[in-house]
Structure 1
Amino acid sequence: MTTAHKILIADDEPNIVISLEYLLKREGYQVLVARDGQEALEAIAREHPDLVLLDVMMPHKTGFEVCQAVRTTPGIEATPILMLTARGRETDVAKGLALGANAYMTKPFSTRELVVKVAEMLGAAG
């Protein structure tokens, strides 16, 4: 029996966290939650999740800062990151990818689209 993939949701919007958590648990994933950038960074270092859903706009550290920190920290630098943001401008997408995000989704996104993307990324990682 394989263990469930561990996914960290890093987002400060409770409604988004609740719906993502429900959705991912229903798909059989183990879900962790961080409510700000600093918490996300600590959780990634401690838990070594298989995937991080990272919101760009968060208190303490932005998703961009978290992404950059993960990519430069030995031991967690290969953690797959899917950035979620309400800011869908090309420059934001380019910045996220340049800092090392593996993929990018703009809010609002369809839950189906997200589930497919998560499975795709975990498939590529595993």
Structure 2
Amino acid sequence: MRYGAIIESPKRETRTTTESSRHILVVDDDPMVCIAIEIYLQRNGFRVTIADGGEAGLRALEHQQFDLMIVDIFMPHMRGFESIRFFHDHAPAIPLIAMSGYAFADLNSPAPDFLRMALELGAARCLRKPFTPNALLAAVKDCLAERHAAAARLG
């Protein structure tokens, strides 16, 4: 996958669950993370679009509708929380799951809690890499249920 690419997964017609219409944007510069998330979400009936980096993710938001975003905090060309802030500002109604595998070389120094900071910038949930498939699915389903409940209250 070349940097900045947007790849939409093929639509699966075999599922008739409500998840089959749910479209998720995954923004991460690590192709292995993207593939793992894409495969697992597809197996659970979701449509997935992969954006290789922040700029590609913003382009995808301009051209498609999404029900949820999963965004890596640290990517090239976007400094730390810039991606979370940009994505939340561009699509505040779409729940955002922030993920990070950032580790510090010096374990004795106090480390900032990047995932807590992401929540303060608008993320609905956070996942620390590596996470289990069950943790991913639980976070996705929780965010989608909360969005559906909020929409039902409003309309």
TM range (shorter): 0.7 to 0.9
Q: Give the SS at the match of 2:81.
A: helix
**Greater length-normalized contact order (CA 8 Å, ≥ 6 residues apart):** 1
- When normalised by structure 1's length, the TM-score is 0.87
1:24-43 C-alpha deviation (Å, 9 max, x unpaired): 00010010000011111121
Identity across matched positions, percent: 30
Query: What is the TM-score of this pair, normalised by structure 2?
Result: 0.72
2: CA distance between counterparts of 1:80 and 1:30?
16
1:38-92 Cα shifts (integer Å, max 9, x gaps): 111121232131101101111222462122123333xx22211000101375531
After the TM superposition, list the runs of 4 or more consecutive aligned residues in structure 1 that deviate by more than 3 angstroms.
none
Distance in 1 between the 2:52 and 2:133 partners? 20
Paired with 1:20 and 1:9, the residues of 2 have a C-alpha distance of 8
Among 139, 143, 154, which residue is 1:117 paired with?
139
Instruction: State whether residues 10 and 33 of structure 1, in contact with CA within 8 Å, keep that contact through their aligned partners in structure 2.
Output: yes
Seen in structure 2, the aligned counterparts of structure 1 residues 115 and 63 have a Cα distance that, compared at 3 Å, is: farther
Change (3 A) 1:62 1:39: farther
| Unmatched tracts of structure 1, length 5 or more | none
Structure whose CA Rg is larger: 2
Partners of 2:147 and 2:86 lie apart in 1 by: 20
Match in the other structure for 1:95 = 117
- In structure 1, the partner of 2:21 is 4
- 2:29 is the counterpart of 1:42: no
Could you tell me which residue of structure 2 aligns to residue 69 of structure 1? 86
Counterpart code for 1:53: I
Corresponding letter in the other structure for 2:115 = V
Name the residue aligned to 1:106.
128
Instruction: Tell whether the 8 Å contact from 2:26 to 2:70 is kept in structure 1 after alignment.
Output: yes
Q: Once structures 1 and 2 are overlaid, which stretch shifts more, 32-41 or 84-93? A: 84-93
Gaps of 5+ in 2: 1-15, 104-110, 149-155
